Structure formats: structure tokens, C-alpha cells
């Protein structure tokens, strides 16, 4: 069980009377994250960025150790980056593709992933195909099994989409992809920090995640997990003097592990903040946090449909902490803005972010409420009352 009072007291940025429901966008960091970042920036201003970083080498190494503990991976299999998209693309663009190869994407896939897949398909002659969803809305495992053959080089599995509560059966999809030798890249941007992630159990080849959402880290942080055998063999599309060593006039040697997917320059303060965020989560107990998020989302999924004119849009068998809904006759952007007037923060997910899924369901946008463990049930009820007021 979480100590709710401690969790709430740990947030320096909470405004009295506000309701924060945008952890799927960019969450509120705990105090230790803010302090870690600010303290490092102040230190950089005194001794310069290089010396300040040198003073924190152990702490910087510990960032990967903490992430590894969270997702059950060796630190050497993790590359730190500045976003989930960067991580996803770094892995994706390192996969050799040729004419006739097939890339499979989830129906709930994120726009940035799909755009990258389409770009590479144009450049290589590979094809991009959608894995359909089943009657429940989750990735259709039977359809996937029927689609795969040895020409499939990569399956992009979207764990928890940006636009609603769906959780896709990632481990099962991975087993099917591996049966034909295809690689699996799991977009865990919306699941890391709110759902259990064990890369050994999931058996995915790579996983991308961001810092600022459910992990409650700083903006401009993210990471890529790469299966160790692949981290030692794949060649990233871009290299620098950190991802590789210049060994002679004609030669370079790639870093032996996932750090070949990193560049040397980075926001050191943000990275230290990411480490602090992950350690904070580990300290609270990830299972406690996941349970608290799920309880809050379920509370909303029960309460919102009781309001006349409100439709919860979440699909699938298993649900995440993202609750999506629409209000009859009120545009999602208006819902967001009118809630903001009451100091309630939600966001809107537009069709362009998850084009295949949203157009398939005839939706142009949905309102997205994503409560983290620090949101009280009283705040949730205030939010529900505010939605009821604007729906009537």
C-alpha cells in the first residue's frame, strides 16, 4: 500500500484546489527529481558542465542500474536518450531492410513510429502493414499469426497507446513474431512507470520509453532497451565518439553494448533527474504505484459513463491508467479548456497521433484523463463533477 500523504507531500508543484490528470502527457515530478535537476544546473553554473558531470560519474552510471532494476535488464543493455521517439527510431533505423521485407505495425501505433516506418519503406522497397485489432480492440493475435512469414523483419508492438486505456498482449505478439525470426520493438512509452515491465518475460528485442510521463522524470529524457546480442551486433545509423571509437585513419570500433545507441552530448541534469525519478518509483514499490494508478483509472471508468452524454472510449481487455472519453456536442478541445478554467488538467488526443485506430473508430479526438498515484479520489470526484457540469 502507498502512503498517500507522503506521495502527495513529495510534490513541490501541486496547487491547492487543482486536479492534475495528465501523467500520460507530462507528469508532476516528485521533489527529489526537481532538486536533483536544479542542484546540478547550479553546480554547472559554478564549475562548468564538464567538471560538474565528472563529479557525478557514479550517479550517472546508476541511472541505467535503476532503469535496469525497473525493467529487469542489464544496465549495459540500456541506452539513454532524450525521448521515446528518439529511442524507437534509433533502434528502428538500425534494422537492415531490403525490397520485399515487411514491417508490421499495430493498429494503435503512434504517428512518429508509423511515419518512420513509411519513410523507410519508401527508401528500401519494404512494405508497412497494419496488424488488425480483434473484437475487443486489442491487437489480434490470430490475425498476426496468419500474417507473419519470414519476410517480416520487424513487428512494432504498441504496448499502451497514447489515446486510451488499451493494453496490448505484448508477450504473446512477441512469441508469434519470433516464430518467423522477426524482431519486436515494443513502444512502452505509455506503459513504463504505470504497468509492470519485465523485458525477460516479454522477450522483446527492443523497448522504447520516455522519462516525463508515468516515470515522472524531467522532459527531454528517455531510454532504449536493446537485447544484449543485438546491442553487440546492430550498427546504429548515426555514430559519434561515444557510440564508437576512432581507431585509425580508416577505422572505428563500435561500443560493445547499448551505449552505441547514445551520443556523447546530453543534458546531464535531466539524466540525473531521470535516475532520481526511477529510484523514487523503486522506493515507493512499483507494484503499489501501478495498483494505485489502476484503481484511480477504474474509478473514472465507472463514474464517467454515469454522466449523460459522456462516452468512455477505452477499448481492449486489459486497461491502463489512461481514460479516454468524449462529450456529446462539446468538442474535446473545449472540454479540455473549460476544465482548465476550473484548474483541472487533462489533454486531448487527436486522430493524427493514432491515425489507424482513430479513423477506424470514426473518432476525430478524445479527451484524455490520466491520473497518477498522487491524485486523490476526492480530486477525481471533483473532476467528474466538472465534466458533468459541462456535459449538461
Ligand X SMILES: Cc1ncc(COP(=O)(O)O)c(C=O)c1O
- How far CA 285 is from CA of 71, 194, 241, 282, in Å, comes to 13, 11, 37, 5
Q: Closest distance between ligand X and the C-beta of residue 28, in Å? A: 16
Phi-psi group of 257: left, alpha or beta (phi > 0 → left; psi -120 to 50 → alpha; rest → beta): beta
Q: Which of residues 84, 226, 272, 310 is near ligand X by CB under 6 A?
A: 84
162 sits near ligand X (criterion: CB under 6 A):
yes
- Fill in the per-residue mask, 5 to 34: x = in contact with ligand X (CB under 6 A), - = not in contact: ------------------------------
> Residue 32: which of 247, 274, 328 has the closest Cα?
274
Interface residue with ligand X, options 77, 83, 192, 345 (CB under 6 A): 83
Q: Which is nearer to ligand X, 56 or 120 (CB)?
A: 120
Stretch that binds ligand X, among 29-37, 81-89, 130-138, 335-343 (CB under 6 A): 81-89
Binding-site member from 106, 190, 243, 326 for ligand X (CB under 6 A): 190
332 near ligand X, judged by CB under 6 A:
no
Using the contact rule CB under 6 A, the part of the chain among 138-146, 148-156, 184-192, 339-347 near ligand X is: 184-192
**Nearest-approach distance from CB 3 to ligand X, in angstroms:** 29
CA-CA distance, 265 to 262, in Å (whole number)?
A: 9
Q: In 3D, which of 276, 243, 282, 231 has the Cα closest to residue 60?
A: 276
Please state the closest distance from residue 114 (CB atom) to ligand X, in A: 11
Closer to ligand X at the Cβ: 85 or 194? 85
* Other C-beta atoms lying within 10 Å of the C-beta of residue 125: 12
Whether the Cβ atoms of residue 255 and residue 263 lie closer than 8 Å to each other: no
What's the closest the beta carbon of residue 208 comes to ligand X, in angstroms? 7
58, 163 Cβ separation under 8 angstroms: no
370 touches ligand X by CB under 6 A: no
Cα separation, 177 vs 157, in Å, equals 10
Please, what is the minimum distance in Å from the beta carbon of residue 213 to ligand X?
A: 7
85 lies in the site for ligand X, by CB under 6 A: yes
Q: Which of residues 95-124 bind ligand X (CB under 6 A)?
A: 110, 112
Q: ∠ CA 89-90-94 to the nearest 5 degrees?
A: 105
HSE toward the beta carbon, residue 97, CA cutoff 13 A = 29
Q: How far is the CB of 190 from ligand X (least distance, A)?
A: 5
Considering only residues 208 to 227 of the shown chain, the ones binding ligand X according to CB under 6 A are 210, 222
| Residue 216 C-beta: closest distance to ligand X, Å | 14
Nearer to ligand X (CB atom), residue 40 or residue 86: 86
How many residues of this chain interact with ligand X, rule: CB under 6 A?
Answer: 12
Please count the other Cβ atoms lying within 10 Å of the Cβ belonging to residue 299.
Answer: 17
Q: Name the residue nearer to ligand X (CB basis): 56 or 106.
A: 106
Of 187 and 262, which CB lies nearer to ligand X in the complex structure? 187
- In angstroms, the CA 82 to CA 270 distance is 9
In terms of CB distance, is 53 or 155 closer to ligand X? 155
* C-alpha cell of residue 280: 523514487
CB 65 within 8 A of CB 76: no
- Identify the three-state secondary structure at position 346: coil
Q: How far is the CB of 116 from ligand X (least distance, A)?
A: 11
Q: Which residues pair with 225 in a beta bridge?
A: 78, 207
Q: Is the separation of the CB atoms in 199 and 54 below 8 Å?
A: no
Q: Does 324 bind ligand X (CB under 6 A)?
A: no
Is the CB of 53 or the CB of 371 nearer to ligand X?
371
Q: How far is the CB of 81 from ligand X (least distance, A)?
A: 9
What gap in Å lies between CA 40 and CA 66, rounded to an integer?
Answer: 19
What lies within 8 Å, CB to CB, of 280 at 6+ separation is 10, 30, 32, 33, 216
Cβ neighbours for 299, distance < 8 A, ≥ 6 positions apart:
377, 380
Of 45-53, 183-191, 355-363, 382-390, the segment contacting ligand X by CB under 6 A is 183-191
Q: Which residues lie below 8 Å from residue 334, measured CB to CB, with a gap of 6+?
A: none
Of the residues 30, 68, 137, 161, which one makes contact with ligand X according to CB under 6 A: 161
- Least separation in angstroms between residue 366's CB and ligand X is 13
The binding site for ligand X (CB under 6 A) comprises 83-85, 110, 112, 161-162, 187, 189-190, 210, 222
Amino acid at each position: 500500500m502507498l502512503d498517500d500523504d507522503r506521495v502527495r507531500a513529495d510534490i513541490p508543484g501541486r496547487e491547492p484546489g487543482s486536479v492534475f490528470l495528465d501523467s500520460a502527457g507530462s507528469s508532476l515530478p516528485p521533489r527529489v527529481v526537481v532538486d536533483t535537476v536544479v542542484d546540478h544546473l547550479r553546480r554547472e553554473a559554478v564549475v562548468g558542465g564538464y567538471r560538474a558531470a565528472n563529479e557525478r560519474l557514479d550517479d550517472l552510471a546508476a541511472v541505467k542500474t535503476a532503469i535496469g532494476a525497473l525493467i529487469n535488464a542489464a544496465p549495459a543493455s540500456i541506452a539513454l536518450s532524450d525521448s521515446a521517439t528518439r529511442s524507437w527510431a534509433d533502434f528502428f533505423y538500425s534494422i537492415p531492410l531490403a525490397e520485399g521485407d515487411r514491417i508490421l505495425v499495430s493498429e494503435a501505433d503512434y504517428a512518429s513510429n508509423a511515419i518512420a516506418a513509411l519513410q523507410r519503406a519508401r527508401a528500401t522497397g519494404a512494405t508497412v502493414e497494419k496488424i488488425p485489432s480483434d473484437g475487443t480492440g486489442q491487437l489480434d493475435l490470430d490475425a498476426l499469426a496468419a500474417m507473419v512469414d519470414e519476410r517480416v523483419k520487424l513487428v512494432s508492438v504498441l504496448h499502451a497507446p497514447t489515446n486510451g486505456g488499451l493494453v496490448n498482449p505484448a508477450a504473446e505478439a512477441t512469441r508469434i513474431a519470433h516464430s518467423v525470426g522477426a524482431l519486436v520493438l515494443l513502444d512502452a512509452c505509455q506503459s513504463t512507470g504505470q504497468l509492470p515491465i519485465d523485458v525477460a518475460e516479454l522477450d522483446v528485442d527492443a523497448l522504447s520509453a520516455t522519462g516525463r510521463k508515468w516515470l515522472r522524470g524531467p522532459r527531454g529524457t528517455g531510454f532504449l532497451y536493446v537485447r544484449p546480442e543485438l546491442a553487440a551486433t546492430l550498427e546504429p545509423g548515426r555514430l559519434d565518439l561515444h557510440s564508437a571509437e576512432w581507431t585509425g585513419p580508416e577505422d572505428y570500433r563500435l561500443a560493445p553494448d547499448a551505449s552505441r545507441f547514445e551520443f556523447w552530448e546530453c543534458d546531464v541534469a535531466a539524466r540525473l533527474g531521470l535516475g532520481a525519478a526511477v529510484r523514487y518509483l523503486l522506493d515507493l514499490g512499483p507494484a503499489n504505484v501501478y495498483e494505485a494508478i489502476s484503481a484511480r483509472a477504474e474509478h473514472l471508468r465507472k463514474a464517467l459513463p454515469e454522466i449523460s452524454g459522456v462516452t468512455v472510449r477505452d477499448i481492449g481487455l486489459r486497461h491502463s491508467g489512461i481514460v479516454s472519453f468524449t462529450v456529446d456536442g462539446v468538442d474535446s478541445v473545449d472540454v479540455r479548456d473549460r476544465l482548465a478554467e476550473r484548474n483541472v488538467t487533462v489533454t486531448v488526443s487527436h486522430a493524427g497521433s493514432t491515425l489507424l485506430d482513430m479513423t477506424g473508430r470514426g473518432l476525430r479526438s478524445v479527451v484524455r484523463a490520466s491520473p497518477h498515484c498522487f491524485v486523490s479520489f476526492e480530486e477525481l470526484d471533483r473532476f467528474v463533477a466538472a465534466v458533468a457540469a459541462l456535459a449538461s
